[in-house]
Amino acid sequence: MDKKKTVVEDIDRGLYDIKNKDRYRYKASKGLTPQIVLDISKEKNDPEWMREFRLRSLEIYNQTPMPTWGPSLHELDMDDIVTYVRPDTEMKGKWQEVPDDIKDTFERLGIPQAERESLAGVGAQYDSEVVYHSVKEELVKQGVVYTDMESALREYEPMIKEYFMKLVTPNDHKFVALHGAVWSGGSFVYVPPGVQVEIPLQSYFRLNSPGAGQFEHTLIIVDKGAKLHFIEGCSAPKYNVTNLHAGCVELYIKEDASLRYSTIENWSRNMLNLNTKRALVEKNGSIEWVSGSFGSKISMLYPRSILKGEGARADFNGVTFAAGGQVLDTGAAVIHAAPYTSSNINSRSISKGGGVAVYRGAVKVAANAHHCKSLVSCESLMLDDLSRSDTLPVIDIQNDEVDIGHEAKIGRISEEAIFYLMSRGISEQEAKAMIVRGFAEPIAKELPLEYAVEMNNLINIELEGTIG
Amino acid sequence: MEKLQKNLSPIPVKTWNWLGVNSAVLEADIPAITDYSKQPITKGSEKGVTITDIRLNRDTIKFMEKKMDVGASEAMRDFVKKNQNSGYFIEIEEGEKIGTPIILQYDLDEENPTLVDDHFILAHEKSEVNIIINYTSSCTKNGFHSGVTKVFAKRGAVVHLIKVQMLADQDTHVDTISAITDEKGQVDFTLIELGALQTITGCRTQLVGKNSTGTIHSLYFGDQNRKIDINYVQTHQARESLSSIEARGVLLDHSQKVFKGTLDFIKGSSGSKGKEEEYTVLLSPTVRNRSTPLMLCGEDAVEGQHAVSTGKMDENKLFYLMSRGLSEVEAKKLIIEAEFQPILEKVPVIELRDTISMYLRRRLNHV
């Protein structure tokens, strides 16, 4: 009898690795100096306050030491990174007008197709700027704003000034200071009070230029009683030089509002992904993070939720898959800063072929945040003895009216489970793939269907040739 | 001195600095170390055991010490070695099972306000021993204890070490245990931290021999302004080694605690199992409770798990006891005592167990 292959069809990893010619209208010089920051600011036509903000951030960057914890970033040499590459096109509102090579890349990644089938709006960023943005007419009528950050800075300046980098300030850490100095691109979303955006909005980030950095800024405000699901996807072709991604995501969730923020990250294996994401949740609001980390050489990514209002809630569901040569240091942090808040963190990590998967987390309960509940669950699966898997959670509680639980498990695929599946006529390879998919299932089920399929495909690609 | 007081008892892998768990800082100044003139050994002249001044055995233990973890910090290890005012080399002969526990009783007082003790316990093949080290104090102000205890359990040897700390309210306590186990060796630690204003304590076991075992049962009690920093590390370096950490504690008033527990599976430790559990009961709205249960894994064929649970006292239990006529304070005391009982039972001397219970009851009076 022929052996059955894996259940979900494999996809060609090659599509993520397609390189276009490095075509740009403006490309900043390598490195980081006040002049380069001023040049970027001028090129972007920043208002005065933004220019000053950039220069102040650069100062902070220069004064802030590298992190003393986490993976080694010794290979990052800012003198080799190009911080700003404006693609050779204006932003388009019609897909047909996007230049062919860029359009083809996004077509292959399935972005316009996803837009037609299941999205309320889409933004596509190529290198440092957004090249395509569209949003469904009915949302515009309801007052929903979904645009690129550059346009937002012109059209909604007072709102941007009020919120931009107020939640994640340049003093937070070195790479967010860097972001403050050289940020470009990204999306701005505003959902007015009571508006329920039932179908998701999506931004896709593609870094084509070799040796470049991407520093997009995503700012989302979900006003009172409103609801939104936002999806971001990231990829880049593989080059032999280091690329850097130091984006920043700031999410403001007002009273009774809810936001689901999903990410499938598949950066190429030469990318240092040092991204900062944070949500501020007000009374009875909720944030739900769904996160799949597959790509990059090194990732340091820990979405932080600050539960500021009574009854606010945070959920985090994340899966991390570290293959050979990757150090994926991911996790989540929740700050309970008000009474009756609750959080639920569910993390799964898989490591194979010498990959290093780290769960780093924190749950902090402030002195005034009585009657909080938090449950953290981390599970790690090791597929061989070349890999590493570390779990580093911290719980900090400053009052006694709390109910906090944490549990973690580590281990390999159970031989009994494989034996059972094989006794049912399933091949060993398929049995293992099935178990790994089952392990990631609690996260996959939180994703929209087509992303869950993409995640399963990524898992299958990762598993090819390594097990069985 | 300043260098000595910082970066104490670091966790094996650092995390965010803003959480304040990467290492501990000793708040009190380290006083000038004077002689400790009392005789601490109350029981121990059994057949099969040799107890001698550690200074006479430096050459014997030098080689073994080299392999051992430095403990709280390199600076503190050197400080203890240099300033040591008490310390014993306890050697158990091969195959000897010592029935009666060996007891070392240290009591700080006005004449002996500082203690720096350095011990080495060497259990030869297939021997077994119970050792109790008890620290108490009647100092009226700022007693200071810093110490290192090293344990080497050779092939098939079993060492039960019980450390009880009931120092006075203004005292400082910095204590480290470093242990190594050979094949089928076993180290079993019961660590009871109840007194002192600031406690920084650690226990690091290196399971070097296959089929070796390391267990830690820990109990802590924080009230008033006490600060407790606990750092346990179980390192699995050999195949089929077993480890467990079980910690239980109660915090009230303005007390603060940082519990750090690490299970570290080094590559090559296949078939090993590790388990860690921590239960903390919080009894005041002003406490601060931090837990850092780390699991580090470089080997796939292992099983590791940890669980932490923190919260108020079980209200159903409280309600039940009060419905039986107990006052709220009495009911709470009973629940806490019951919580501690499984660990107190590890203390093999009934008199000492009773002393600890009495001490706890007295401290619980204002719950």
pLDDT per position as a tens digit, A316-350: 999 999 988 999 999 999 999 999 999 999 999 99
Q: What residues in B contact A406, CB-CB < 8 Å? A: 291, 293, 306-309
Establish if A367 touches chain B: CB-CB under 8 angstroms: yes
pLDDT tens profile A448-460: 666 677 677 777 7
Average pLDDT over residues B328-356: 91
pLDDT of residue A229: 92
Nearest CA distance, B339 vs chain A (angstrom):
17
pLDDT in tens, A193-231: 999 998 888 887 777 777 778 899 999 999 999 999 998
CB within 8 Å: B304 and A411:
yes
Whole-number pLDDT of residue B122: 97
pLDDT confidence of A90, banded at 50, 70, 90? low
The number of folded domains in chain B is: 1
For residues A41 and A17, the model is more confident at: A41
| Cβ pair B308:A407 closer than 8 A | yes
A10: pLDDT confidence band, cut at 50, 70 and 90? very low
Q: How far apart are CA A347 and CA A316, in angstroms?
A: 8
Pairing of strands B172-181, B198-207: parallel
What are the tens digits of pLDDT across the range B57-115?
A: 999 898 888 888 888 888 888 899 999 999 999 999 999 999 899 999 999 999 999 99
Gap between the Cα atoms of B232 and B176, Å rounded? 10
> Which pLDDT score is estimated for A6?
33
Length of chain A as a residue count:
468
B277's enclosing H/E stretch is: strand B273-282
Give the pLDDT mean for A281-293: 95
Model confidence at A461, pLDDT cuts 50, 70, 90, reads low
Task: Please report the beta strands in A179-285, taking only residues with DSSP state E, as ranges in sequence order.
Answer: 187-191, 201-206, 213-214, 217-222, 227-235, 243-245, 248-253, 258-266, 271-273, 276-281
What is the band of A4 on the pLDDT scale with cuts at 50, 70, 90? very low
Portion of chain A with pLDDT greater than 90, in percent: 51
pLDDT of residue A11: 37
Question: Within a domain: residue B329?
Answer: no
Does residue A120 register a pLDDT over 70? no
Distance from the Cα of A395 to chain B's closest Cα (Å) equals 5
In whole angstroms, give the CA distance from residue A206 to residue A111.
Answer: 11
pLDDT at B69: 82
If you compute the radius of gyration of chain B from its CA atoms, what whole number of angstroms results?
Answer: 20
Give residue for tokens 């693609």: A87
Q: Is residue B179 part of a domain?
A: yes
Task: Provide the domain limits for residue B293.
Answer: 2-313
Would you call B294 and A410 a contact, using CB atoms and an 8 Å cutoff? Answer: no
Write down the pLDDT at residue A390: 95
Cβ pair A409:B21 closer than 8 A: no
CA atoms of B127 and A17, how far apart (whole Å): 63
Give the mean model confidence (pLDDT) for residues B38-45: 79
Chain centroid offset of residue A434 CA: 26
Q: Does B295 touch chain A (CB under 8 A)?
A: yes
Give mean pLDDT, residues B229-246. 97
Looking at the complex, does the CB of residue A387 fall below 8 Å from at least one CB of chain B? yes
- What is the model's pLDDT at position A270? 84
Tell whether B364 is covered by a domain.
Answer: no
pTM above 0.95, yes or no: no
Which residues in chain B are contacts of A391 at CB distance < 8 A?
A: 293-297, 306
pLDDT surpassing 60 at residue A13: no
CA angle (B288 as vertex; B314, B243 as ends), nearest 5: 75
pLDDT at A418: 86
Q: Looking at the partner chain, which of A68, A388, A398 has a beta carbon nearest the beta carbon of B297? A: A388
Q: Does A435 touch chain B (CB under 8 A)?
A: no
Nearest to B308 by CA among A406, A409, A361, A343: A406
- Residue B346 counted as domain residue: no
Orientation angle between helical segments A449-463 and A428-444, nearest 10 degrees: 140
The overall average pLDDT reported for chain A is: 85
A-chain CB neighbours of B313 within 8 Å are none
Provide the 10 A C-beta neighbour count for residue A7: 12
pLDDT at B243: 98
pLDDT for the residue A91:
66
Measure the CA angle with vertex B149, ends B146 and B152; round to 5°.
165
CA-wise closest residue to A392 among B138, B14, B199: B14
End-to-end Cα distance, chain B: 37
| For testing contact with chain A, the best of B299, B309, B318, B332 (most A CBs within 10 A) | B299
Whether B292 contacts chain A with CB within 8 A: yes
**Which of A381, A392, A436, A466 is the best residue to mutate to test the B interface, defined by the most B CB atoms within 10 Å of its own CB?**
A392
For A407-437, how does the pLDDT look when each residue is reduced to its tens digit (9 = 90+)? 888 888 888 888 899 999 988 888 888 888 8
Interface of B with A in 209-228 (CB under 8 A): none
What integer pLDDT is reported at residue A466 of this predicted model? 46
Q: What are phi and psi of A56, to 5 degrees?
A: -65, -40
What is the structure's pLDDT at A7? 33
**Which pLDDT does position A126 carry in this prediction?**
74
Out of A156-160, A237-241, A250-254, B14-18, which region has the weakest mean confidence (pLDDT)?
Answer: A237-241
CA contacts within 13 A on the Cβ side of A311: 8
H or E stretch including B80? helix B74-83
| Residue A427 pLDDT | 87
Q: Which residue has the higher pLDDT, B142 or B242?
A: B242
Would you call B313 an interface residue with chain A, using a CB distance cutoff of 8 Å?
no
For residue A467, pLDDT beyond 50: no
CA distances (Å), origin A76, targets A31, A113, A170, A212, B14:
11, 36, 19, 12, 20
> Closest to B312 (Cβ–Cβ): which among A391, A400, A408?
A400
A-chain CB neighbours of B306 within 8 Å are: 391, 406-408
pLDDT band per the 50, 70, 90 thresholds, residue B215: very high
Q: Is residue B353 part of a domain?
A: no
Q: Does B47 touch chain A (CB under 8 A)?
A: no
> CA-to-CA distance for B321 and A392, rounded, in angstroms?
39
Show residues of chain A in contact with B285, CB under 8 Å: 367, 370, 399-401
- pLDDT of amino acid A8: 33
**Rounded Cα gap, residues B345 and A445, in angstroms:** 47
pLDDT of residue A277: 97
Q: Copy the structure tokens of residue A95.
A: 């897909």
- DSSP characters for B111-160? S--EEEEEEEEEE-TT-EEEEEEEEEE--SS--EEEEEEEEEE-TT-EEE
To the nearest whole number, what is the mean pLDDT of chain B?
Answer: 93
Residues B165, B195: Cα–Cα separation, whole Å: 6
In terms of average pLDDT, the best of A28-32, A86-90, A153-157 is: A153-157
| B220: in domain | yes
Q: Give which of B158, B56, B49, B166 is closest to B105, Cα–Cα.
A: B166
Encode pLDDT of A141-186 as tens digits: 899 999 989 899 999 999 999 999 999 999 999 999 999 999 998 8
Whole-number pLDDT of residue A222: 98
What's the pLDDT band for A116 if we cut at 50, 70, 90?
low
Residue A123: predicted pLDDT: 73
Q: Which residue of A has its CA nearest to B289?
A: A397
Are the beta carbons of B301 and A399 separated by less than 8 Å? no
Q: How many A/B residue pairs have CB atoms within 8 Å?
A: 140
At residue A5, the pLDDT reads 34
For A83-97, A280-294, B207-221, which range has the lowest pLDDT when averaged over its residues? A83-97
